[in-house]
Amino acid sequence: MVAALLAIRDGLIPPTWHTGDVPADYGIDLVRDAPREAPVRTALVLARGRWGFNAAVLVRAAAESVPAA
């Protein structure tokens, strides 16, 4: 969760660790080896744990506020 929130705040996508080469036929754009700068507005966090624990959380950047006139 923290990594997703920091990615949104900093505009920096963290790399996916421990991932080998992915064939180009898969059409997956993985961030590997080093972070990638990009605007991030939404992030999906998936978590799996022991005894069948599964969770998914979608976080989104807050809408920019407009000052009142």
The neighbouring-strand residues paired with 42 are 60
44-52 contacts at long range (C-beta below 8 A, 24 or more positions apart): 44/4, 45/1, 45/4
pLDDT per position as a tens digit, 7-24: 999 999 999 888 888 888
- Is residue 9, in this structure, part of any structural domain at all? yes
Could you give the number of structural domains in the chain? 1
Report whether pLDDT(66) > 70: no
- Is residue 69, in this structure, part of any structural domain at all? no
Give residue for tokens 């996916």.
16
pTM: 0.76
- Is residue 55, in this structure, part of any structural domain at all? yes
* Backbone CA torsion sign across 37, 46, 58, 20: positive
- Is residue 26, in this structure, part of any structural domain at all? no
- Is residue 50, in this structure, part of any structural domain at all? yes
- Is residue 12, in this structure, part of any structural domain at all? yes
Instruction: Say how many C-beta atoms besides its own lie within 10 A of residue 26's C-beta.
Output: 8
What domain range is 47 assigned to? 2-17+31-60
- Is residue 24, in this structure, part of any structural domain at all? no
